[in-house]
Amino acid sequence: MARIIDGKVLAAQRRARVAAGVAEFCARNGRAPGLEVVLVGDDPASAVYTRNKEKAAAEVGIRGVLHRLPDTTSEAWLVDFVASLNANPAIDGILVQLPLPRGIDVNRIIDAILPSKDVDGFHPMNAGMLSVGREGLVPCTPRGCMALLDAHLEAVGEGLDLGGKHAVVIGRSNIVGKPLGQLLLARNATVTMAHSRTRDLPAVCRTADILVAAVGRAAMVRADWLKPGAIVLDVGINRTADGKLCGDVDSEAAMAVAGALTPVPGGVGPMTIAMLLENTLLAASRRVG
Ligand code: NAD
Residue 70: cis peptide before it, omega within 30 degrees of 0: no
Annotation marks residue 120 as catalytic:
yes
Q: Is 170 in the pocket of ligand 1 (CB under 6 A)?
A: yes
Spatial CB neighbours of 126, under 8 Å, sequence gap ≥ 6: 115, 118, 136, 137, 138
Write down the pLDDT at residue 289: 67
Write down the pLDDT at residue 254: 98
Write down the pLDDT at residue 146: 98
Evaluate if residue 78 carries a pLDDT over 80. yes
pLDDT, one tens digit per residue, over 196-243 is 999 999 999 999 999 999 999 999 999 999 999 999 999 999 998 898
Percent of the chain scoring above 90 in pLDDT: 98
CA distance 128 to 283: 17
pLDDT, one tens digit per residue, over 125-170 is 999 999 999 999 999 999 999 999 999 999 999 999 999 999 999 9
Q: Is 204 in the pocket of ligand 1 (CB under 6 A)?
A: no
Q: Are 231 and 209 in contact (CB under 8 A)?
A: yes
Q: Is 237 in the pocket of ligand 1 (CB under 6 A)?
A: yes
The CATH number of 140-269, from 3.30.70.270, 3.40.50.720, 2.40.30.10, 1.10.10.10, is 3.40.50.720
273 CA from centroid of ligand 1 (Å): 18
Q: Are 194 and 168 in contact (CB under 8 A)?
A: yes
Write down the pLDDT at residue 179: 98
238 CA from centroid of ligand 1 (Å): 10
| Bridge partners (DSSP) listed for residue 189 | none
pTM of full prediction above 0.85: yes
- For residue 246, how many other CB atoms are within 10 A of its CB? 19
CATH fold for the domain made of 30-115: Rossmann fold (3.40.50)
263 CA from centroid of ligand 1 (Å): 16
Annotation marks residue 13 as catalytic:
no
Mutation probe of ligand 1 site: the residue of 140, 176, 193, 200 with most atoms within 8 A of C-beta: 176
CA distance 54 to 171: 28
| pLDDT (average), residues 262-280 | 98
- H runs (alpha helix) in the chain: 7-29, 44-59, 75-87, 106-112, 124-131, 140-155, 177-186, 201-205, 251-254, 268-288
Q: Are 286 and 273 in contact (CB under 8 A)?
A: no
| pLDDT (average), residues 88-96 | 97
| DSSP β-ladder status, 166-170 and 190-194 | parallel
Q: Is 240 in the pocket of ligand 1 (CB under 6 A)?
A: no
Q: Residue 95: which pLDDT band, with cuts at 50, 70 and 90? A: very high
Domains 30-115 and 140-269 share a fold: yes
Q: Is 195 in the pocket of ligand 1 (CB under 6 A)?
A: yes
Write down the pLDDT at residue 32: 98
Max distance between CA atoms of the chain, in angstroms, equals 57
Mean pLDDT of all residues in the chain?
A: 97
79 CA from centroid of ligand 1 (Å): 27
| From 6, 92, 118, 120, the catalytic residue | 120
In this structure, the residue with its CA closest to atom 31 of ligand 1 is 216
109 CA from centroid of ligand 1 (Å): 22
Q: Is 259 in the pocket of ligand 1 (CB under 6 A)?
A: no
What burial class does residue 209 get, using C-beta atoms within 10 Å of its C-beta: 0-12 exposed, 13-18 middle, 19+ buried?
A: middle
Q: Is 201 in the pocket of ligand 1 (CB under 6 A)?
A: yes
In this structure, the residue with its CA closest to atom 4 of ligand 1 is 173
CA distance 193 to 184: 11
Spatial CB neighbours of 149, under 8 Å, sequence gap ≥ 6: 5, 210, 231, 233
CA distance 232 to 214: 11
Domain boundaries, the chain: 30-115, 140-269
Residue 270: cis peptide before it, omega within 30 degrees of 0: no
CA distance 118 to 136: 9
Q: What's the one-letter identity of residue 240?
A: T
